[in-house]
Amino acid sequence: MAIVVDQDTRLVVQGLTGSEGRFHGLRNRNYGTNVVAGVTPGKGGQDVEGIPVYNTVAETVDHAGANTSLIFVPARFAADAVYEAVDAGIGTVIVITEHIPAHEMLRVYTYVRPKGITMIGPNCPGVLSPGKTNVGIIPAEVFAEGAIGLVSRSGTLTYQIGYELVQLGLGNSSIVGIGGDPVPGSSFIDVLEKFEADSQTELVVMVGEIGGNEEEKAAEFIRDRMSKPVLAYIAGFTAPPGKTMGHAGAIISGSSGTAQAKKEALEACGVRVGTTPTEVAQLVADAVGARA
β pairing state of 126-129 and 133-136: antiparallel
Q: What is the spatial distance between Cα 26 and Cα 112, in angstroms, rounded to a whole number?
A: 28
| Residues annotated as catalytic (active site), given as ranges | 247
Q: How far is CA 227 from the centre of its chain?
A: 22
Confidence of residue 253 (pLDDT cuts 50, 70, 90): very low
Q: Are strands 230-235 and 272-274 parallel, antiparallel or unpaired?
A: parallel
Q: For residue 57, which phi and psi values (nearest 5 degrees)?
A: -70, -35
pLDDT of residue 210: 82
Q: In a 3-state reduction of DSSP, which class is residue 87? A: helix
CATH 3.40.50.720 fits 1-122, yes or no: yes
Q: What is the pLDDT of residues 191-213, one digit of tens each?
A: 999 999 999 999 999 999 888 88
Cβ neighbours of 129 (radius 10 Å):
26
Pick the CATH number of 143-292 from 3.40.50.261, 2.40.37.10, 3.40.50.300, 3.30.470.20: 3.40.50.261
pLDDT in tens, 154-176: 888 989 999 999 999 999 999 99
Helices 214-225, 259-268: axis angle to 10 degrees equals 10
pTM: 0.93
pLDDT at 231 over 90: yes
Average pLDDT over the chain, rounded to an integer? 93
Per-residue pLDDT at 245 exceeds 90: no
Same fold, 1-122 and 143-292: yes
**Can you give the residue ranges of every domain in the chain?**
1-122, 143-292
pLDDT of residue 252: 47
